[in-house]
Amino acid sequence: MGIMATTTEEALPPLAPQQLLSLLYLASPSLPIGAFAYSGGLESAIELGWVNDEACLIDWCQGVMGEALGQLDVPVLLRLHRAWQDGDQSAISHWNAFVRANRETRELLFEDEQLGSAMCRLLKGLERLPEWLPERPGFLTLYAATCVNFGIDARQAALTWLWSYLENQVAVACKTIPLGQSKAQQVLMALMPHLEQVLARAERLGDDELGATLPGLAQASAWHETQYSRLFRS
């Protein structure tokens, strides 16, 4: 069975003003965790010639969101959100370790670890760091905890996670293809409806169905480790 009986075909719960502001805060590129320094393999894909224009970028983002984030990050985020709500430390530790085990390259794991460490420092400074954390908490685990702390619904949190990923990828493309600003906005608008589809699919997945299935992404990430000239850390 999937994590939830509800789907995004139902109306998302209304957001109180403070919840909306909290979502905008977490989605902001200016959140001081250094996410702008990582491309998640896209810089390598651009170097290899796999992504070189608007259409290729749409295909890349749609594929990664559908077959990687939608199969791993988003369904695990939903489970982590519930576990933090329930105070289920065993489940939190399990899913945190599960995500670590599914990061297919050194750089992808490093990205998750470094963003998690930065999020820890930020939450500590804001006096919102949970009293308990699993061993080596990753960014996804801390993001879920923060959303619960802010009173943000799990599906709203997942859509925000997807939007942050998409916005980051477009920013990477603008710097490295390079992609013009108008084209960048067209990519965002074209993929916006796809986010809800990714979430709806993720909600239906059972525990034994989770896992990313993009060997090309893993290859691009692995090759990035030895790429001669690069702007990003992954």
Q: Does the residue 50 lie in any domain?
A: yes
**Alpha carbon distance 64, 67 (integer Å):** 5
51-87 pLDDT, tens per residue?
999 999 999 999 999 999 999 999 999 999 999 999 9
**Number of domains, the chain:** 1
Degrees, nearest 5: CA angle 207-213-218: 130
User: What is the extent of the structural domain holding 120?
Assistant: 36-224
168-172 CB contacts, 8 Å cutoff, 24+ apart: 168/29, 168/35, 168/36, 168/38, 168/39, 168/40, 169/39, 169/40, 169/42, 169/57, 169/60, 169/61, 169/64, 170/57, 170/61, 171/29, 171/36, 172/39, 172/42, 172/43, 172/46, 172/232
Q: Does the residue 96 lie in any domain?
A: yes
Q: Does the residue 28 lie in any domain?
A: no
Whether 9 shows a pLDDT value over 80: the answer reads no
Tell the burial category of 45 from Cβ atoms under 10 Å away from its Cβ (0-12, 13-18, 19+): buried
Q: Does the residue 25 lie in any domain?
A: no
Mean pLDDT of 204-225: 91
**Predicted pLDDT of residue 2:** 54
Q: Does the residue 19 lie in any domain?
A: no
Q: Does the residue 233 lie in any domain?
A: no
**Alpha carbon distance 65, 170 (integer Å):** 13
